[in-house]
Every structure is written in structure tokens, then in C-alpha cells.
Amino acid sequence: MDRPLGVALDATSLYDLRSGVGRFTGEVLAGAGRRPDLDAIAYAVTWRGAGRLEDLLPPGVRAAPRRRMAAFPLRQAWIRSDHPRIERWTGPIDVVHGTNFVVPPTQGAAVVTIHDLTYLRFPEMCTSDVLQYIDLVPRAVRRGAVVHTVSAFVREEVIQQYGLSPDRVVAVPNGITPTVVGDAAQGSRAAGGERYLLAIGTVEPRKDLPGLVRAFDEVAAEDGDLRLVIAGADGWGADALTDAITTAHHAARIVRVGWIDEPARADLLAGATALVLASRYEGFGLTAGEAMAAGVPVVATAVGGIPEVVGDAAVLVSPGDEAGLSAAIQGLVADDHRRAELAALGPAQAARFTWARTVDGLVDLWRSVVANDR
């Protein structure tokens, strides 16, 4: 193909506070915008802020014309039929990539990113909006969409769950953004102390932050200076975290700072004794990767794609094992040598995952599905 490949990408997640999906989408759009072999156009399936899309996009990516796209009626239509097609908003394209579980019908080729299978494995942890994926994903697959996953673990889950041929599901790992060196002193001020554990992520049941609070409470009983900082916007189920903190014996040493911007994130990472990711399930584990890139020791649950991301550069525990999590944290914070070892191993492990490789892999995938669609 001599002309640039026309690719439409879903940029809806850029409207929200950037969680993992928003970071993935932003990085892929930025990488696509830098490639002269692509004609990248972004669309947003949202009624609100229809005219804001241009302001959210990186250089080199153009916005679809400002015809509004309302999420609820469109999702209902796409569950039941193959209309309306995305070309109604974008004009002619070669491939459309649904970056967040939902890909519209198209006259061309289609790719849909499945970040994890929480909606199938843990439906009790999902909002009604997320549960729509139960119908939307199979419909897209029946229309011929190729599935992109962010880890080999999720790839195998998707193949087994949907009975797909392995060549219909392609794993292209996320990148890990090198963290700007923060101000450790500023991080300690935000934490209210010099020694603290850090958890970063949207407050939702899948992250098991109440379990982390209980595990920390056990450690705090033996360590009078250690604190726990929880950073992340409230999703749903935040009341469970509030209840866990309220009933904790050492609640005074638990700090919730809400959503944080990149400078604050860098500062908190710079001063952290360790980052703890206590999730019940993760498709990739960006938070763990970003902590390793910053040279911060990591304790994480051995679930989903996390082991692929951390390799030997983190302490892994079983999900839901609060006693095991408490013991792992206690052992790490008391062992200067082990923390130094993990701090040295982390950056090299994280460097294996770059957004440039992610974009290169996706471009290869887009070209492959376009070629096979003809």
C-alpha cells in the first residue's frame, strides 16, 4: 500500500481521568500521530464534550467530524446489528481499532482491544456499563474483528473463553512509561512521613484495597513509623475501602490522596519504601511496571499479566491472602538488602516494555488484518 494506512481509533477514554486504559490509548494515539505511514483519525463515543476531542489529541491525529456519538444508543444498536458503521463519522478508513473493548461495525477491517476478562470472570466486580461487554465483544468477534490483548495471559484466556483460533487473537504488550524523577521529600510531605507504602489505581473492587488496608494494619502493629498512601480516583465500591480504613486500628497512618497528576505521582514514587499492588485480577499491571521503572521495590499479587510484567523484579504473593501479603510487606520493609536488589532489577525489567514497541506491534497487526480482509 503506497498511501498511508487509514486507521480510526477510539479516543473516548481520553475524556476521563487517565487510568490504565486512558494511558494505553493516549500512548498509542501519540505513537500513531508520529508515523508518516499512517493516517490516524480519532473518534469518541460520548455525547458530552463532543467539541473537545481536538484538544485532547496529540499532534498528527485528526478528530472525526463533530457529529455527536451517544454511547448508550450506539452500544445497544451494535449489540443487535451491524449498523451504524463507523464510516458514518470518520469517512473511508482501512481499519478501525476499538481501544477499550468496544469496536463499531465497519466496511473495512476491525481490531478490538480486550484489556482483561473481568466482566466474565468477576461480574460482581463490574458496573452495568462494563457488563455490556458480555454482549458487545462476541458480536464484534462474529463480525470478524481480530482481538488484541495486552498480555499473553489474557490472550490465552480469550482463546479459551471465546473458542477462537489462535491467529484471531494477538498479544501486543503495553509499554511502560519511564517515570520522571520526582522529589522524594515532596512525596514524604504528601504522605505525612518518610516511610510509606504506596498503592496507585482507581478505587474499585478488583484492586482489593480493603484487603491491602487490613494487611497494612497487621504490619503497622509492629512498625510504628510505616504509613500507607492510597492514590487514585474513586470508581465504584469505594465505600468498602472507607469502611476498611474506618475500622483499622492504625487508620491515622492511612492517607487517601485521590487522583494525582503526573508530577505528584512521580514525587510519591520517589519517596516510597515500596509499591503494593494487591489486585485480585489484572490484565497487565501498569502500576507495577511504572514503579519498577522508577526503582521502587514492588510487592504484587501473582495474578493475570502481572508475572509477565514484573519477572523476577518483584515480590509476588497469592491474591486474597492477606496474611501472606502482610508477611511479604513486613519482610521487604525490614530488609534493606532485598529492597536495594529489587530497586536495581526493576528498571531493567521495565525497560523491556516500551510504547514504541507497542505501536510498532499494533501497526503490524493493523496491516495484517487489512491484508487478510481483502
Q: Are residues 45 and 58 in the same domain?
A: yes
The pLDDT score that the predictor gives to residue 353 is 97
Residues 219 and 246 in one domain: yes
> Phi and psi (nearest 5°) for 224?
-75, -10
Q: pLDDT (tens digit, 0 to 9) for every residue of the chain, 374 residues total?
A: 579 999 999 999 998 777 789 999 999 999 999 999 999 999 999 887 667 899 999 999 999 986 778 888 999 999 999 999 999 999 999 999 999 999 999 999 999 999 999 999 999 999 999 999 999 999 999 999 999 999 999 999 999 999 999 999 999 999 998 878 899 999 999 999 999 999 999 999 999 999 999 999 999 999 999 999 999 999 888 999 999 999 999 999 999 999 999 999 999 999 999 999 999 999 999 999 999 999 999 999 999 999 999 999 999 999 999 999 999 999 999 999 999 999 999 999 999 999 999 999 999 999 999 999 87
First to last CA, the chain: 12
pLDDT at position 65: 83
Reported pTM: 0.94
Max distance between CA atoms of the chain, in angstroms, equals 66
Are residue 223 and residue 289 in the same domain, yes or no? yes
Beta strands 5-10 and 38-43, pairing class: parallel
Residues 315 and 219 in one domain: yes
What's the pLDDT score for residue 52?
Answer: 85
Residues 31 and 166 in one domain: yes
On whether both 293 and 147 belong to a single domain, the answer is no
Please count the structural domains in the chain.
2
Give bridge partners of residue 61 from the DSSP assignment: 40
pLDDT reported for residue 55: 92
79 and 165 assigned to the same domain: yes
Supply the pLDDT for residue 28: 98
Judgement on whether residues 234 and 312 belong to the same structural domain of the protein: yes
Q: What is the CATH number of the domain that holds 190?
A: 3.40.50.2000
**CA triplet 79, 76, 73: central angle to 5 degrees?**
150
pLDDT at 50: 65
Looking at the structure, do residues 164 and 232 belong to the same domain, yes or no? no
Which triple of cell numbers denotes residue 62? 485528526
pLDDT of residue 1: 55
Among the listed residues 263, 291, 274, 172, the one whose alpha carbon sits nearest the alpha carbon of residue 229: 274
Domain that holds residue 204: 184-350
Residue 300 and residue 365 in one domain: no
Residues 125, 209 within the same domain: no
